[in-house]
Structures are given as C-alpha cells and as structure tokens.
Amino acid sequence: MSIAENIGKIRERMTQAAKKAGRDPGSVRLVAVSKTKPAAAVAEAFGCGQQIFGENYVQELVAKQAELPKEISWHFIGNLQSNKVRQIAGLVQLIHSVDRLSLAREIDRQWGTLGKVCDILVQVNISREETKGGTSSGELLGLLGEVAQLPHLRVVGLMTMPPFFDDPEGARPYFRALRALSLEVEQAGIPGVEMRELSMGMSGDFEAAIEEGATLVRVGSALFGEREYH
Ligand SMILES: *Cc1c(COP(=O)(O)O)cnc(C)c1O
C-alpha cells in the first residue's frame, strides 16, 4: 500500500478511536515516525498533508531536514545524549524524551544561546524496564520541580513507551497510568509546568492510547512500512 493510503487509513482509525472515547478527533495529532526512512518518503507524506515528523537520531534528523521543506515540524523522540543537543537546537518543535536533569539543563543552555524556549515532554518509564529510557513515576515530581526552574525550556506534557505486546490491549494499563500521572502533576500545580500533551501509542496500539487520552501518537511502520534494523 502507498504512503497516501496508509495515512488515510491511520487518520480514519484515529478519528474512530477518538469518537469511541467521546473525544474531539482534532485533539489528537499524528507524529509520523520517519527514522531510517529516506527524505523522499517524508516528502511524500508531507505532500499528503502530514505536518509533524518524529526522528530518533540526531544526524539523521539534521541531514533530512536540510533536504526538506521548512514548513515541516520536527519532533525528537529518541534517546538524546547531552553532547548532541547543540546540533538540534532551534531545529525541533518538541523533544519527547527528556528524562534527566542534566539533559534538561543542556537543552536550556542551547536554546538559551538562541534566545528561544524549547517545548519538552518528560519521558516516564512506567513499566520500569531496564532497557527503556524515562524517569520513574516516583521521581517525576521532583524532576519536574527542578526542570520548571529552567527559563529556556517549557514542560508541556508526558511521554511513555510501554513494553512490547502482540495484543494492543496489553499496553492499555500503561497508557492509563501515564494519564493518571499527568493528572497528579496537574494537581501538584508546579508553576511553569503544563500537562496539555500525552505522547503515547505507536503502530500496534495507537487506538487504545487515544481511548486513554493520547494527544500525540507516534506511528512509524504502519505509515512507512516495516523498518530495516538500524
Ligand atoms: C520507532 C518509534 C516509534 C514508532 O514505532 P512503530 O511501531 O514503527 O509505529 C514510536 N516511538 C518511538 C520512541 C520510537 O522509537
């Protein structure tokens, strides 16, 4: 199937999931995860009206961005090393994967150099899998309290990557837990911390994520086809 057909199908499924949950379909945005895929594939999806693209690797993001229209909005969704932040400063609209103070400080420093503010999500490792990035639920409020002090960075929500399940329902409890955490954060009322975004759900489970409150779903293989290993 073509990228255009895949996007059409995914958008339709997103709309249905939102309606099923009694949500406004316009409250959920699709992040097209283009890691390992060529710039031509991104251009094709952009031609179909897709606005936001998610990338996991700094060099790949920088290379693709240079070839593509300036109107594209780029999100960084992968593990981010502090020493690479400088390369993407000012180039991405949202970083989904901030999970430690040292990284937040470096983002603050680099965006500060540009006189700009970077929107970020804090990644939470709800399942506590050792192989996954993310702060623990227990450490979240403490981390947010520190990050909120940084002037060139604005927390706008949370992100999670649940464990892999064959059954899309398997991830649902983790989605529900992330939403519950975001409500706790809201109640804590930390100045400068907003909880308007929940980044959760991928190709295999984005409908369950939308039913549980996702505002950003990160979809790669269902849109661009299976990836070769990177
Ligand atoms: C690769 C990736 C995705 C997309 O995964 P698919 O299963 O291909 O949809 C989403 N989020 C993150 C953080 C990823 O690394």
Quick one: pLDDT at residue 80?
97
Regions of the chain short of the pLDDT cut 70: 229-230
Residue entry with tokens 């709309």: 15
Quick one: pLDDT at residue 117?
98
Domain range annotation of the chain: 3-224
74, 64 Cβ separation under 8 angstroms: no
Quick one: pLDDT at residue 150?
98
Residue nearest to atom 6 of ligand 1 (CA): 220
Which pLDDT tens digit goes with each residue over 53-72? 999 999 999 999 999 999 99
Quick one: pLDDT at residue 28?
98
Which pLDDT tens digit goes with each residue over 6-18? 999 999 999 999 9
Considering the domain delimited by 3-224, tell me its CATH architecture: Alpha-Beta Barrel (3.20)
Quick one: pLDDT at residue 7?
98
Count CB neighbours of 51 within 10 A.
14
Pocket test for ligand 1, best of 3, 31, 33, 223 (most atoms within 8 A of CB): 33
- Determine if residue 49 is left, alpha or beta; phi over 0 gives left, psi from -120 to 50 gives alpha, anything else beta: left
Count CB neighbours of 131 within 10 A.
7
Quick one: pLDDT at residue 132?
87
Residue nearest to atom 4 of ligand 1 (CA): 220
Residue nearest to atom 12 of ligand 1 (CA): 77
Would the CB of 77 count as within 6 Å of ligand 1?
yes
Query: What atom in ligand 1 is closest to the CA of residue 204?
Result: 7
State the burial class of residue 83 (Cβ atoms within 10 Å of its Cβ: 0-12, 13-18, 19+).
exposed
d(CA 131, CA 128): 9
